[in-house]
A and B are shown apart, each in its own frame.
Chain A
Amino acid sequence: MAPMALAAPPRPDAPTPASATPAAARGVAVAARGVAKAFGQRGVLRALDLAAAPGEFVAIVGRSGCGKSTVLRLLSGLEGADAGTLTIDGAAPFSGNPLARMMFQDARLLPWRSAAENVALAVGGDRARAAAALAEVGLGDRGGDWPGVLSGGQKQRVALARALVAQPRLLLLDEPLGALDALTRIEMQGLIERVWTEHGFTALLVTHDVAEAVRLADRVVVLDGGRVALDLAVGLPRPRHRGHHVFGEIEAAVLDRVLGVAADPAALHEIPAPCGLARTA
């Protein structure tokens, strides 16, 4: 039976508040099938298969240069795949796709625009929505500040507000907390988990911090040699704490798999060499 609309259809010009939308319905399905990507001679991804259900939080971990950021760049349309198909809600990715927004490791705020103007940029200059998004990340009173006077954590909060303000259905997080200090990182993890719960978008988080992946994600995926080496569902209730013994077990399992190739020379024969050294030829 088709779902019935009981309420009047929302006016297209009035953005629906996130709380009024059933959270799970907001996210989009993401899929990658047989995706390959090489930069020059260096094959970064080879036959990658990866999927995320609507509203799912998937973390991608792996060693430096294993292609985890490339997955996000392909989905954001900043790069094109050499082979295979990628889809976001069934359609091919393209740059500027309003469904998908990216958060980078550096905040990438325009230094010559105030915090509020930076956020408004993502919604055609709508200052009211920008102010609401800034308030949501706890910076309601800093909208008039130049990015240059904000701390690293505050800048990333502004970047998060900018990513969320247009209500994207897929959020691509490219090591957004990598440059922050440990305490700010814990705060930001809490914030990201909260907005994900409230907005219900699909989230793809690339991180080198295994504990962060286990804390936030429904599924943790380990990339190695351009392929998925481990795909582990994290069934712990939220909010999760590192002290929990299952948390520790999952973290150890993922970490072992990330480090495993280098630790066991024999395994190198079965598993493709780390992509930093691999050649496509």
Chain B
Amino acid sequence: MATLRLSPSPARPTDPAATLVPWLVPALVLLLWQVLAANEIIPPRMLPAPLAVGQAAAEMAAEGKLVPHVLASAQRALLGFAIGGGLGFLLGLANGSFAWSGRLLDSSMQMLRTIPHLALIPLVILWFGIGETARVFLVALGVLFPVYLNTYHGVRTVDAGLLEMARNYGLSRWQTFRQVILPGALPSILVGVRYALGIMWLTLIVAETIAASSGIGKVTMDAREFLQTDVLVFGILLYAGLGKLADVAAKGLEKRLLAWHPSYVRAR
């Protein structure tokens, strides 16, 4: 039997050949890039060949420069995400659940969210200097609003019929929250999380170009100083890889937590 509702992604491939299809285009692009660069049709100063980038990566790893920088970046990103996302989640729950809290805080949040958080960089540097705090603060600020908005929206749009059912069946406030409101808001909350993960990396990249002493941003800034295009490209690829990793993790979380959702339910 087919899924009840069409899933947003095309039908899940089951045979190994079908899973390889999405990788076909990237592989061809890499191949073309390698051929063009190796024949110096693209000057190596502009864009080094993929193999050269791989070589630079291997050298960095061998010198022990790779892992500490990736860890430093990941730590900043996750710390900022935990602070900003946690705050946004709690504010969204509170404002969505309690009318007085929503009336007090929501319009202020809506006002603040329209400020591009990266525009605050000069102010943030004045406040916190160019240290770790400034970078974590920026990431936290960036992820706060998407998580807040989607949590708030999710809580506010929980099916009123289900809430009525909960009242009629004598569920306590806590049971109603735990059984009805939170799971009902979850699809929306997870959309916010995925969106926030994108903003998290974006903010980090910008923040790490502000005089960082470690992290992927520091590596790419140094590479620019010394015209190491291969390292620079590798740094960009690292960001891409980490971003993809975060997205895969979020998708996995979605699949697990929303197993009941018609988009994910597969008939037995």
Chain A: residues with CB nearer than 8 A to chain B? Answer: 76-78, 95-98, 101-102, 104, 106, 108, 110-113, 121-122, 146-149, 162
* CB pair A162 B169 closer than 8 Å: yes
Which residues 89-124 of B have a CB within 8 angstroms of A?
none
Query: Is B267 at the interface (CB under 8 A from chain A)?
Result: yes
Q: Contact: A113 with B260, CB < 8 Å?
A: yes
B8 at the binding interface (Cβ < 8 Å): no
From B162, B262, B265, A110 is in contact (CB under 8 Å) with B162
Chain B, 13-58, CB within 8 A of any chain A CB: none
B180 CB-CB contact with A under 8 Å? yes
A149: B residues at CB distance < 8 A: 4, 265, 267
The distance from the CB of A238 to the nearest CB of chain B, in whole angstroms, is 28
Known: A110-B179, A113-B260. A121 touches B169 (CB 8 A): yes
* Alpha-carbon separation in the docked complex, A97 to B169 (Å): 8
B171 at the A interface (CB under 8 A)? yes
Interface residue B170 (Cβ < 8 Å from any Cβ of A): yes
B183 touches A112 (CB 8 A): yes
A78 to B164, CA, bound (A): 7
Residues in chain A near residue B180, CB distance under 8 A = 110
CA distance A190 to B226 in the complex (A): 83
Whether A104 touches B165, Cβ cut-off 8 Å, given contacts A110-B179, A148-B261, is yes
Q: Can you name 14 extra interface pairs (CB under 8 A) apart from A104-B161, A106-B161, A113-B179?
A: A76-B168, A77-B168, A78-B168, A95-B168, A95-B170, A96-B169, A97-B170, A101-B168, A102-B168, A108-B165, A110-B179, A112-B183, A113-B260, A121-B179
Task: For the complex, give the distance between the alpha carbons of A147 and B183 in Å.
Answer: 14
Residues of A within 8 A of B171 (CB): 96, 121
18 pairs from A and B in contact (CB 8 Å cutoff): A77-B168, A78-B164, A78-B168, A96-B170, A101-B169, A104-B161, A104-B164, A106-B161, A108-B161, A110-B162, A110-B180, A111-B260, A112-B260, A122-B169, A146-B260, A146-B265, A148-B4, A149-B265
CB distance from A32 to the nearest CB of B (A): 18
A104 to B159 Cα, complex, angstroms = 14
Chain B residues closer than 8 Å to A98, beta-carbon distance: 170
**Complex: chain B residue closest to A165, CB-CB:** B169
